Amino acid sequence: MDFLQQIGYAGLNSRIKRLSDELLYSTRDYYKNAGLNIEPNWHLIFLLLEKHNSLTITEISQELRMSHPACVKIINKMKKKNYIETKTDKNDSRKQLLELSEKSKNKLPNLHKHWDACIETTKELIENSPNFMQELTEFEKLVADKNYNERTIENVKEL
């Protein structure tokens, strides 16, 4: 029983962060061991561009609900390693249309093999937690409706 568990509700946010970090770093180990020359957070970009063929930074950041500078950073790394190609939109020169490169398309079958293994692992980890996905969704919904900051302001009791 570790300290974060001992302190109950006070430790929940940090436990979620700790778990998130553990999963991220362990996934990175896996990618490295498997000889994949990609970062874990490229996964979703691959999936999105596989599905939509061509997207802009703004569209990706909306799909993933992540800030656009975060997406820019990921995309730049992927471009540097030739996983993504860009062209400027003909009708709106501000927009950069992003597409998977040939290199990416060639690698996708192998990548999917590993992503499938990840899915199996995830299933394994929550197979005895039948409510986890649903309750996580509820959690996401609640913080989307009113965030932690706003809720806590209302919960402060002035001394």
Q: Binders of a copy of itself among 97-116, rule CB under 8 A?
A: 109-110, 113-116
Q: Show the tokens assigned to 89.
A: 């939109």
We find the least distance from the C-beta atom of residue 91 to a copy of itself, in angstroms, to be: 25
Say how far apart CA 99 and CA 11 lie, in whole Å.
42
80 binds, among a copy of itself, DNA, none (CB under 5 to 8 A by kind): none
Which pairing describes strands 96-100 and 84-88: parallel, antiparallel, or unpaired?
antiparallel
Residue of 14, 37, 76, 88 interacting with a copy of itself (CB under 8 A): 14
Say how far apart CA 88 and CA 111 lie, in whole Å.
28
Residue ranges in 38-67 that form contacts with DNA under rule CB under 7 A: 39-41, 56-59, 66-67
Please work out the total of residues on this chain that contact DNA, with binding judged by CB under 7 A. Answer: 30
- Paired residues of 86 in beta bridges: 98
74 binds, among DNA, a copy of itself, none (CB under 5 to 8 A by kind): DNA
Task: Write the DSSP symbol of residue 79.
Answer: H
Cβ atoms of residues 96 and 55 within 8 Å: no
Closest to 74 (Cα-Cα) out of 113, 108, 23, 40: 40
- Paired residues of 85 in beta bridges: 99
124 binds, among DNA, a copy of itself, none (CB under 5 to 8 A by kind): a copy of itself
Segment interacting with a copy of itself, rule: CB under 8 A, options 17-25, 72-80, 83-91, 94-102 = 17-25
Residue ranges in contact with DNA by CB under 7 A: 14, 17, 21, 24-25, 28, 39-41, 56-59, 66-70, 72-77, 91-96
